[in-house]
Amino acid sequence: MLVIKNVLDAKMLQALRAMIDEAQFIDGKKTAGFRAKRVKKNEQLARDDKKAKEVKRRVLERLRLHPEFKSAALPRRVQSPLISRYQPGMEYGRHSDDALMGTEPRYRTDLSVTLFLSEPDSYKGGELVVSSSLGEQKVKLAAGSAFLYASGNLHWVAPVEEGERLAAVTWVESYIRDHGQRELLYDLHKVCRRLSRDAADWLETDLAFKTYSNLLRRWSEN
């Protein structure tokens, strides 16, 4: 589980929210799996809405270019995001995301991403809650920041009591299926970046990069 800050800057957020205000929303149940339909109570931008397509394109572009996202997720495929709206009384009950999504060829969902589009003080409630071996973690980030977590974890969106919660949600198939291996690579990549900055000419820096590349080569799935 990882917080990724500043995926979207203030100028981009303002532009996206202006387009969202002009776009058409539909019942969120239309994109839910057969079991999730029972507990999903929100709205989403219609897939064929022109404004929605532009919002999704810009969100996906910024996310895929973010260096922290690339390093942590090692994305092979990233799904076009859903733009969700929660108004007072809306929520998304406890569920885990489908293991396979999309049309043929389908893709595996290793990681889920929630990108917050509303400032946390503009709505009451609406926390993303993720259940793991560490217990239940409540997440409510600044607009423009994203939360990355394993798709197989049970999670839910608490009821919104006041205001409006906007978020973009997407899913990642990683080159590295195993979460433990992906975490090791993420940590090692951070070490490589620091060594590259502070000890660029050391033999040990070359060895660290070599080790990262060889582990990635050994573990990655085409």
**Tens-place pLDDT, residues 134-146:** 899 999 999 999 9
The alpha carbon dihedral of 199, 204, 206, 207 has a sign of negative
DSSP string for 2-38: EEE--SS-HHHHHHHHHHHHHSPEEEGGGGS-TTGGG
Burial 3-40 (b: 16+ CB within 10 A, else e): ebeebbeeeebeebeebbeebebeebeebbeeebeeeb
Smallest CA-to-CA distance from 209 within 194, 2, 222, 221 is with: 194
Q: What is the mean pLDDT of residues 98-113?
A: 89
Residue pair 153/132 in contact by the 8 Å Cβ criterion: yes
- Label residue 33 by pLDDT band (50, 70, 90): low
Q: By three-state DSSP, how is residue 94 classified?
A: strand
Q: HSE, CB side, 13 Å, CA atoms: give it for residue 75.
A: 20
Query: Residue 36 and residue 95: Cα distance in Å, rounded?
Result: 6
Question: Is residue 27 scored above 80 in pLDDT?
Answer: yes
Question: Is residue 88 scored above 90 in pLDDT?
Answer: yes
With pLDDT > 70 as the criterion, what percentage of the chain qualifies?
A: 98
Query: Residue 40 and residue 213: Cα distance in Å, rounded?
Result: 41
The alpha carbon dihedral of 191, 174, 111, 172 has a sign of positive
Domain residue spans in the chain?
2-174, 179-219
The alpha carbon dihedral of 148, 122, 46, 66 has a sign of negative
Placement of tokens 């609406």 in the chain: 126
Q: For strand 91-95 and strand 155-157, is the pairing parallel, antiparallel, or unpaired?
A: antiparallel
Q: What is the mean pLDDT of residues 149-162?
A: 94
**Tens-place pLDDT, residues 188-212:** 999 999 999 999 999 999 999 999 9
CATH tag, 2-174: 2.60.120.620
